[in-house]
Structure formats: structure tokens, C-alpha cells
């Protein structure tokens, strides 16, 4: 896993009109799968993006919730304290159009694990 500067990721997402945000979502999905031990059976980042695009964002909302569960699994594997409400928080942020904040929170948790 690569530690990413969250502020830089947010700025790049804004400056590139969301193109970097798509890349960031793909990388978050892949790295979370690896961290939680779902690298073989988890949905890859490219598939997450494709399904989100095809379902007009609905799959992205579901994915955000599942990310919370996977991040908690990864934290439990490393004997770190878990937050059972993380998935719900990511879900709510996605529903209200604040996905970039959810991505930043996910990245923060992954940065703590690396």
C-alpha cells in the first residue's frame, strides 16, 4: 500500500474535474482488497468503476458501505481498534454527494495501516 497525501488527492480531483477521483476510487478499492485479504475474491477497482458508471452511481453507494466493512476487517487483522459505524458514515457521505470526503476518510485509514 502506498501512503497518499490526502490534501493533494483532493486538489488533484478538483483540478482534473474528477478524473483523478476516478483513479483514486480504483486504487482505494484495490488497496482495501489487499489489506483485508480479499485480493482474490474482492471486486477490483476497475469493476467498481464500471458498475458505478453503469448503475448511475448506485453501486458506488453500496461500494462505499462495503469499504467500511473491509477496512474494519483489515484493522482487526492488525489488532487496531475498529469503528463499526465507518460503513454507515461512508454510505451517508456518498448519498449526500460528498464522496470525496468518504475517499479521504478511507485513505486516512489505509495510511494508518501502511
Instruction: Give domain limits for the chain.
Output: 6-113
For residue 13, the model assigns a pLDDT of: 97
- Structure confidence at residue 46 (pLDDT): 95
Count Cβ neighbours within 10 Å for each residue of 55-79 and write b for 16 or more, e otherwise: eeeebbbebbbbbbbbbbebbeeee
Mean pLDDT of 91-103: 96
Backbone angles phi, psi at 29, to 5 degrees: -60, -45
Write out pLDDT tens, residues 74-94.
999 999 999 889 999 999 999
105 contacts 90 by C-beta, under 8 angstroms: yes
Whole-angstrom distance, CA of residue 41 vs CA of residue 5: 28
Average pLDDT of the chain? 95
pTM of the model: 0.93
pLDDT of residue 96: 97
Amino acid at each position: 500500500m502506498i501512503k497518499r497525501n490526502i490534501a493533494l488527492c483532493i486538489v488533484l480531483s478538483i483540478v482534473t474535474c474528477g478524473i483523478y477521483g476516478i483513479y483514486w476510487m480504483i486504487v482505494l478499492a484495490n488497496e482495501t482488497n489487499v489489506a483485508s485479504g480479499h485480493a482474490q475474491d474482492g471486486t477490483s477497482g476497475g469493476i467498481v468503476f464500471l458498475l458505478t458508471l453503469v448503475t448511475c452511481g448506485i453501486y458506488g453507494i453500496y461500494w462505499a458501505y462495503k469499504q467500511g466493512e473491509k477496512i474494519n476487517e483489515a484493522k482487526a487483522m492488525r489488532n487496531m481498534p475498529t469503528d463499526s459505524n465507518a460503513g454507515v458514515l461512508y454510505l451517508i457521505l456518498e448519498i449526500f454527494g460528498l464522496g470525496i470526503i468518504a475517499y479521504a476518510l478511507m485513505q486516512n485509514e489505509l495510511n494508518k495501516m501502511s
